Amino acid sequence: MPFKGQQILPAIQSMKDFDKMLTYSFRYGVFLNIHVGMLKSVFDYARAENKDMFLHMDLIQGLSNDEHATEYVCQTIKPYGIISTRSSVIKKARQLNVKAIQRTFVIDSTALNRSIQIIHKTDPDYIELLPGVVPKVIERIRLETGKPIIAGGLIETQQEVEAAIAAGASAITTSSISLWDLFSKKK
């Protein structure tokens, strides 16, 4: 199990969300939409609370999402891992021994085939598949790449979480606190 059995990865869009996450037993989560000026303090806070947090490189406000920014973030901020749609970012994180999640959007069969090709080239630790409500795509990408799948996007119900897990997803990213309630215990 990639996340020690944790099926929900809380997607954090604000400090209020992070404070809410701290009331749960989650160990792993994802920071989205964060200002570059807050990176150090937010990650120091996460480490103090024993949280292993991924950082979505494409959504950092005030910082480019290229391999140079990735090198800076990995060496200075030292996140548990990074998420990106960009191949160069994934490759740089892997070179620096930082966990890497290749985010991919599958909207049709062409995008599916292209995503599989990119995944083989970048060799990420994990794949985040959006939208995460298509079980047959989760299963196919997992089988064709051999990589753990994280399903995200448009997952709104317990049944959709369970369907994604049954199709082979290791975890689900979500900002839905109602889903956090269903899949984690309060401290």
Is 152 part of any domain?
Answer: yes
The number of domains in the chain is 1
Q: Is the pLDDT of residue 49 over 90?
A: yes
Q: What is the pLDDT of residues 11-24, one digit of tens each?
A: 999 999 999 999 99
154 — alpha (psi -120 to 50), left (phi > 0) or beta?
left
Is 176 part of any domain?
Answer: yes
Is 2 part of any domain?
Answer: no
Q: What is the CATH number of the domain that holds 144?
A: 3.20.20.70
Residue 141 near residue 114 (C-beta atoms within 8 A): no
The gap between the terminal CA atoms of the chain, to the nearest Å, is 22
- The pLDDT assigned to 185 comes to 86
Q: Is the pLDDT of residue 1 over 70?
A: no
Confidence of residue 9 (pLDDT cuts 50, 70, 90): very high
Question: What is the average per-residue pLDDT within 49-64?
Answer: 97
Is 1 part of any domain?
Answer: no
Is 154 part of any domain?
Answer: yes
- The pLDDT assigned to 187 comes to 79
- The pLDDT assigned to 186 comes to 86
Mean predicted lDDT score pLDDT of the chain:
97
Q: Which domain holds residue 52?
A: 8-183
Is 92 part of any domain?
Answer: yes
Find, among 1, 6, 22, the residue nearest to 173 by Cα.
6
- The pLDDT assigned to 28 comes to 98
Find, among 43, 36, 92, 101, the residue nearest to 64 by Cα.
36
pLDDT exceeding 70 applies to what percent of the chain? 99
Q: What is the pLDDT of residues 99-152, one digit of tens each?
A: 999 999 999 999 999 999 999 999 999 999 999 999 999 999 999 999 999 999
Is 75 part of any domain?
Answer: yes
pLDDT exceeding 90 applies to what percent of the chain? 97
d(CA 79, CA 44): 10
Is 3 part of any domain?
Answer: no
Query: Which amino acid, residue 178?
Result: S
pTM: 0.96
